Amino acid sequence: MSEKIIQALNDDLALELGAITQYMWHHVMATGMESPEIKNIFRAISIVEMKHAEMFAERLNYLGGTPITKPAPIIMGGDLTKMMEDDLGGERNAIRQYKEHIKLAEEEGDPVTRRMLEEIVAEEEEHDDTWSSILEK
């Protein structure tokens, strides 16, 4: 299979590995009056990101690639609002990157990877909407 696809999927996997850790640590570190509900959102999204990482790793393995283990940079700390803003930025970065990789999958004639990425983008857009809605209030 295409080395471009394998590299793209490993780049995507790195984002998900970073997101898992970032969300889970935000879940652990969140404090304040509004934190109980937000902590649950951090935890729930971390689990969704784990599923995305698994999908990327399985696809990489199927295509003959070796899934990476090094996460993308992780942003931690700050107050609850900063954590949510950091996570929103991460979601938007992932959406942008995954849409680029959808185009690559089309160019490389890989409809399975394209469909997988489209499914993941839909879930990342839900996360974007969650953080955007909360931060507007």
Domains (range + CATH), the chain: 3-136 (1.20.1260.10)
Residue 123 has pLDDT above 80, yes or no: yes
Q: How far apart are CA 126 and CA 130, in angstroms?
A: 6
Q: What's the pLDDT at 101?
A: 98
Q: For residue 67, what are its two tokens?
A: 């899934």
Question: Is pLDDT of 1 > 70?
Answer: no
Please report the pLDDT score of residue 55 as a whole number. Answer: 98
Question: How far, in Å, CA of 38 to CA of 67, rounded?
Answer: 31
Q: Per-residue pLDDT averaged across 29-51, rounded?
A: 92
pLDDT of residue 46: 98
* pLDDT for position 137: 64
Measure the CA–CA gap between 48 and 62, rounded to whole angstroms: 21
User: What does the mean pLDDT of the chain come to?
Assistant: 96
Question: Is the pLDDT score of 34 beyond 90?
Answer: no
The CA distance from 81 to 42, in Å, is 12
Model confidence pTM above 0.85: yes
pLDDT band for 104, please (50, 70, 90 cuts). very high
HEC profile for 60-96?
Answer: HHHCCCCCCCCCCCCCCCCCHHHHHHHHHHHHHHHHH
Q: Residues 3-22: what's their mean pLDDT?
A: 98
CA dist., res. 61 & res. 55, Å (int)? 10
Give tens-digit pLDDT for 52-96.
999 999 999 999 999 999 999 999 989 999 999 999 999 999 999
